[in-house]
Structure 1
Amino acid sequence: MLQTPSQTVGPYFAYGLTPKQYGYDFKNLATNVLENIPEGKEIISIKGKVFDGENNPIPDAMIELWQNDGENQFFGRFGTGTDSENHFVFQTIKPNSVEGQAPYVSLIVFMRGQLIHSYTRIYFSDEEILNQQDAVLNSIPDERRNTIIAQKKGSIYEFNIYMQGENETVFFEV
């Protein structure tokens, strides 16, 4: 039997992980929009791009969002290749503070050339008091902390991911 060629991450995104987004007739396991939104919860949108070390948008990354705020859980996926400007977009609820932590969502970045996915968090710029008290956020040097804080612009939280370079996003080991 012949050995199959090795692949770092794909090209499995389109039909294996986000098929409907790319026009395939397969059922999605996860989408980028939270369904069955609990009553009374604040609905938010998170929008951003993934950039390489030369500040070029990456057109074929896939982002997974994981959220557990003590009451609700949400898992979503979005491939940057279906947006004409290579954005990722998620619609979810604003997470609660759990055990004194600032509200956050977890992101996993999958892309070509990576042998291991990258893990980060999104904190929210309008949670200043809780952000100042969050142990994980405060373990990051001051000059890098802003790389994981989404900026609220109107009704959207803007969060860009920089894989390398001067603005490199803080990534965590899991």
Structure 2
Amino acid sequence: MVQSLGYLKELPSQTAGPYVHIGCTPNFSGIEGVYDTDLGSGPLYNDKTKGERITVRGHVFDGAQTPLKDALIEIWQADADGFYNSPSETRGTADPNFFGWARCPGDMATGEFVFETIKPGRVPFNDGRLMAPHITFWIVARGINIGLQTRMYFGDEEEANAQDPVLARIEHKVRVPTLIAEREGDTYTFNIRLQGADETVFFDI
């Protein structure tokens, strides 16, 4: 018997709750023996990975400009040549020594997150125009009903940023700097603000 398409409906979204770290990063939570290491932890590269090694660090701030201490952040990015480590990548072959995805809980004392990765290459927009190098972020924490999506662009890529078709679609240009990470040495600082005057631009993906 064929059931109607409306029989199984999407359930309402719920916040991540206090157990998101237990489920996603058990070793970080002090629960050992589930995995040797937490999925997505550690550098996104090994000693054979092509590209410039960089560090990305920052905090997730609430509306009172207080760092969240229970945020969980995931990143997804292209390799140094602009290819994704994904079965759906059809433009070329991604670097097999670059993982492309990582997960990091914020430090429980300071809220800081840190990723050891490489600087990504440029990827084409759906109309063929090249986007500026960027890293996609997904943020979840207690009180967030649906994981938030945003991007981090690089402050030392001014020309590419000026040509980026996604940044060009942001109506209020004064908010574009909320997506730009500034560089010091090999470290980029990218702070995510959930509310307030400097609220980060989030994307409906």
TM-score in terms of structure 1 length: 0.89
**Aligned 8 A contact 2:148 2:202 in 1:** yes
154 and 113 in structure 1: CA distance in 2 versus 1, 3 angstrom threshold: same
Q: Residue 108 of structure 1 is aligned with which of 114, 138, 150? A: 138
- Helix, strand or coil for the counterpart of 1:89? strand
Structure 2 partner of 1:58: 68
1:151 aligned residue: 182
Residue 128 (1) aligns with residue 158 (2): yes
CA apart distance, 1:119: 0.3
Answer yes or no: is 1:80 the counterpart of 2:90.
no
Question: Would you say the 8 A contact 2:53–2:186 is kept in 1?
Answer: no
Distance 1:171 1:32 in 2: 26
Distance in 2 (CA, whole Å) between partners of 1:124 and 1:152 is 8
Higher relative strand content: 1
| Alignment match of 2:26 (pick from 19, 42, 49) | 19
Would you say the 8 A contact 1:42–1:94 is kept in 2?
yes
- Measured after TM superposition, the shift of residue 32 of structure 1 is 4.3
Query: Does the 8 Å contact 1:102/1:131 carry over to 2?
Result: yes
Which one-letter code corresponds to 1:52 in the other structure?
A: D
1:3 corresponds to: none
C-alpha separation in 2, matches of 1:133 and 1:45:
25
SS at match of 1:46: strand
Q: Which TM-score applies when normalising by structure 2?
A: 0.76
Structure number having the greater helix percentage: 1
* Structure 2: gaps (5+ residues): 1-12, 84-93, 125-129
Deviation at 1:49, TM superposition (A): 0.3
Counting matched residue pairs gives: 168
Deviations 1:28-66 (A, max 9, x none): 221142143544410111000000001011110100111
Displacement after TM superposition at 1:167 (Å): 0.7
Structure 2 residue aligned with 1:89 = 114
Give % identity.
42
